[in-house]
Amino acid sequence: MREKERRLEGRDLLLVGFTLFSMFFGAGNLIFPPNIAAQAGTQTWPAMLGLALSAVGLPVLGVVAVARSGGLDALGSRVHPAFARVFTIVAYLAIGPCLAIPRTATTSFEMAVPPFVGADAPIGVYQLVYSLVFFAAALFIALRPEKLTDRLGKILCPILVALIVVTFVGCLVNPLEGYGPATGDYATHAVVKGFIEGYQTMDTIAALAFGIVIAVNIRARGVEEEGAVVQGTVRAGVVAGGMLLAVYCMLAHIGALSGGALPNPADGAEALTNVVGLLFGTVGSVLLAGIFLIACFNVCVGLISSCGEYFHSICPRLSYRGWAVLFALVSMAISNAGLTQILEVSAPVLSAIYPVAIVLIALSFFQRWLEGRRWVYPAAVLCTGVFSVLFALKGLKVPLDFLDALPLADVGLGWVLPAGVGVVLGLLLSDRKR
């Protein structure tokens, strides 16, 4: 077979899949599954079904949608070229320097430093020094994006998975007191609640952005024909999705046991800390610090690379390296604001843009039937976007009580009906103008 017809297969496919998993699996992926399970208790697995749909299924579909469409810009252009540019920039900034990249440093710091220093330690100074070292190391790796498969896929990903498996096996050997009772919305709407919480991993947005770096790594392995690159990206997405699902299930079991033994943890990090402390004592803190550090570092590298590649493509006056350095510096500054502040900002932003991303991905799989119906994408995205922004504002205590009348609004899916109305409206407009 000639070189230009080479396909991504075997060991190369696994390595690229591991790389994509490493880029996905970071702070939110570690925090939210155990946190959900600690609250869901006996309803853990229905809640995990919801999480799997939004934090595994949608990201995999996102990778497929972008690969088949020829990039996020091309997918967004089905709405309008201006929308494509604005939405793509917002998505990259959200998963990049404004939210996700700073969160990788902040979360890993809270797990890797405070547990090992005294209560009177100057945490602010430690955090500044940690962020300097963390981002300097991540930037060093990110400056060679074509090497991510060798550095993340071959080395750091296997170490990360091994550490999580060790923790999971410890829970199998010593199941503590079992799962606790379901609390809050998990007692009545476990699947939907898990689905909404999956937004916080940011992986559906990240999936729309990671394709550019994954394509670079696939080409670096000798796959050059465009169709083969697209096929390789899709297959790598499936591998990464399978790994995410397996690891989420392990983390959910750990979190459910933690919630049963020590109920009402403040967050997923505390749930994990509680259970590894019970199982492994002081060694558990070291184990958990290693898991968080490697996971967050991997994602930080992947996000700096993806954002650098994209912004260099739209503004080539600044080199890829220049963009990477800029994003590392901005992210380092924001990371010192603290995890709580970052999460307070991220929740409403994600509530606003996630439904739009979901609708774009869903429509892309019906493109064969939507050819020539040019108003479907604009109408669906406009209706979805307007209502998702309104619901995000309501979440910030803006008095918009009329939104409660929409179906599914009580479970956080009030945008679904407007999205459906937008699709129908787009079909009617398209047929009328033919």
**Residue-by-residue DSSP string for 321-344:** HHHHHHHHHHHHHHHTT-HHHHHH
Do residues 218 and 261 share a domain? yes
pLDDT in tens, 92-113: 888 788 888 888 888 889 888 8
Domain boundary residue, one of 335, 368, 399: 335
Sequence-distant (6+) residues with CB within 8 A of 222 are 3, 6
Q: Which residue has the tokens 């400056």?
A: 143
Do residues 277 and 357 share a domain? no
Do residues 234 and 372 share a domain? no
The answer, yes or no, to whether residue 215 has pLDDT greater than 80, is no
List the domain range (segments joined by +) for residue 69: 8-335
The answer, yes or no, to whether residue 6 has pLDDT greater than 80, is no
Q: Is 48 helix (H, G, I), strand (E, B) or coil?
A: helix
pLDDT in tens, 121-173: 888 899 999 999 999 999 998 888 777 767 777 777 788 888 888 888 888 88
Cα separation of 199 and 356, whole Å?
Answer: 12
* b/e 107-143 (16+ beta carbons within 10 angstroms → b): bbbbbbbeeeeeeeeebeeebeebbeebbeebbebbb
Please give the mean pLDDT across all residues of the chain. Answer: 86
Kindly indicate the confidence band of residue 431, based on its pLDDT and cuts at 50, 70 and 90.
confident
Domain boundary residue, one of 335, 369, 396: 335
Cα separation of 385 and 387, whole Å?
Answer: 6
Amino acid at 129: V
Per DSSP, the chain holds a count of helices (H) and strands (E) of: 20, 0
Domain boundary residue, one of 294, 318, 335: 335
Do residues 314 and 344 share a domain? no
For residue 262, what is the domain's CATH number? 1.20.1740.10
Do residues 211 and 248 share a domain? yes
The pLDDT value recorded for residue 341 is 67
Do residues 313 and 264 share a domain? yes
